[in-house]
A and B are shown apart, each in its own frame.
Chain A
């Protein structure tokens, strides 16, 4: 920088360059925008030979505001804030240098304020960021000042540095804000995971536990920094170990999600049943990083479910026992009358009720496959007494309909055993069912190969059960047709098959 000095200038070129250099260095090391402003004002006052200067920036509302200054009165700053030859975003305007404020077109009140502040000449130098005006710096002179080419280019150089530094400081500020936001969101997310009321864990690709949230650490009694020594596999119940490790190992090997249950010893060495849902997790490059999963302690749920099963089994047992007692009472009661035909009919019906009950309890009173029900009710045709053929699609019956249909089929079978196709060898009964549109089920009972058929002389309970019982129980109808070559019974029930 030596050798460029020009004699006759109040401030030498080399001093200006030195000041510029120091400014550049200072803003580079500045830790705040205020330090940047202070260095800038130093450089401005020194290189542009003014005692007074200011820096102004557009605020969020686009108003030019003083952000740093030297030697200006409060009144002046208050009055002149917002006064600017440029609007926010103007593209790279040139600086404006005013040698004599009195010769400008500014309104009189502005001229008066400026003159009142003992200012004769002044410079407006735009500050730009990416080519757009963000503010300006001002230089003020009490004496007439002419602005030569050198001072103009110095002013523009300082302005460029200053604009660039402000931009960098702003970027830094928003980067820090973004980082703080990220840290906050990370902390929130960590807290969410940490405080979630289920166990959350992550494993490495080998299945070793890498992270446990608080509930999981509390379950096993692991300190926050004790994960390295933690061997979760060692806490599995010996009887569950094979299937838990096998399923988890397979999920890891195939990169597949897995759901499994197993008992684990908690910190108190109690066995707790955990249900685990785990998924593989992958890095941004697609590489397998391990598994992530949640464990839910379902020990209580399981025991409630088991108790319910036991209660249901017990209830079924008692109902069947009660039916057996009713049967025994009937046996004893009717024994004296020797009316054993009626007794055996009654007992037969009772047994069908029990069998339907049996099937219903097997499906927890939810829905009964029609084919299973029909086969169970119609089992027990003595050998040499004809055969029953079943034909129909899978169809699930609601419990009430199941009982009604069981009793109806039993009546038909009893009749067939006494008088119809099941009373002789070689007779057949075809039981066919199909769902028909509008939510109805049709069952067709067809006998063949029995003795010639004649309509019964009196309507017994069986006919009553069929024709009236079904009508009320099933919202349906049963039609008995005593055709000469075999009884045909068409049962129609309003009955949607269950899913």
Chain B
């Protein structure tokens, strides 16, 4: 399968530094261009305002705050994204109609779900 993430600008929103760093590594290994990582709502919204973004990986909960405003913004900008979460519930992914990967996740899972999100977006 060809690497659909190569040269894509991917926004990473993750409040846990180590997880963010690992995720960025994996994205860069896949030749993607990392935007961020953003650790809170403000940073993420600002990055979305200032930089071109083609897809996003969004932690559902940032330091106790739901990341809904970012999800709304991504929806409005028609940018495909996936949720990552340590919570069991899928209520938010259902609400926003996006894919979710549960922490701790493997790179393969993130890669697969993000690629699917991009494919679906392209076919719309």
Contacts and interface: CB of A to CB of B under 8 A. Distances in A.
Contact of B21 (A326, A328, A347): A328
B104 A354 contact: yes
Contact of A317 (B21, B23, B25, B61): B61
Contacts of A328: 16, 18-19, 21-23
Contact of A351 (B16, B86, B88, B105): B105
A362 B104 contact: no
Interface string A300-341: 000000000000010011101101111111011001000000
B87 A327 contact: no
Contacts, number: 64
Contacts of A321: 16, 19, 86, 103
Contacts of A358: 88, 102
Nearest to A326: B104
Contacts of B102: 320, 354, 358
Contact of B103 (A331, A332, A354): A354
A324 B104 contact: yes
A329 B18 contact: yes
A340 to B, nearest CB: 10
Contacts of A332: 18, 21-22, 25
Nearest to A317: B86
Given A324-B16, A329-B18, A317 B104 contact: no
A463 interface: no
B22 A313 contact: no
Given A358-B88, A362-B88, A320 B21 contact: no
Interface string A347-367: 110110010001001100000
Contacts of A361: 88
Interface residues of B, number: 18
A158 B56 CA distance: 115
Interface string A443-478: 000000000000000000000000000000000000
A344 B106 CA distance: 8
B88 A324 contact: no
Contacts of A344: 106
B26 interface: yes
Contact of B104 (A316, A318, A350): A350
B104 A320 contact: yes
Contacts of B61: 317
A486 B48 CA distance: 53
Contacts of A329: 18
Contacts of A326: 104
A331 B19 CA distance: 9
Contacts of B22: 327-328, 331-332
Contacts of A320: 86-87, 102-104
Nearest to B18: A328
Contacts of B19: 321, 324-325, 327-328
B88 A331 contact: no
A331 B105 contact: no
A354 B103 CA distance: 8
A350 B88 CA distance: 17
B86 A325 contact: no
Nearest to B15: A321
Nearest to A330: B22
Contacts of B106: 344, 347-348, 351
A316 B21 contact: no
A496 B96 CA distance: 43
Given A313-B87, A316-B88, A324 B25 contact: no
A315 to B, nearest CB: 11
Contacts of A317: 61, 86-87
Interface in B93-124: 102-106
Contacts of B88: 313, 316, 358, 361-362
B21 A324 contact: no
Nearest to A329: B18
A347 to B, nearest CB: 6
A46 to B, nearest CB: 102
Question: Considering residues A313, A316, A317, A361, which has the most beta carbons from chain B within 10 angstroms of its beta carbon?
Answer: A317
6 contacts: A317-B87, A321-B16, A326-B104, A331-B22, A331-B25, A351-B104
Given A323-B104, A331-B25, 20 more contacts: A313-B87, A313-B88, A313-B89, A316-B87, A320-B86, A320-B87, A323-B103, A324-B86, A324-B103, A325-B18, A326-B104, A328-B16, A328-B19, A328-B21, A331-B22, A331-B26, A332-B21, A354-B103, A358-B88, A361-B88
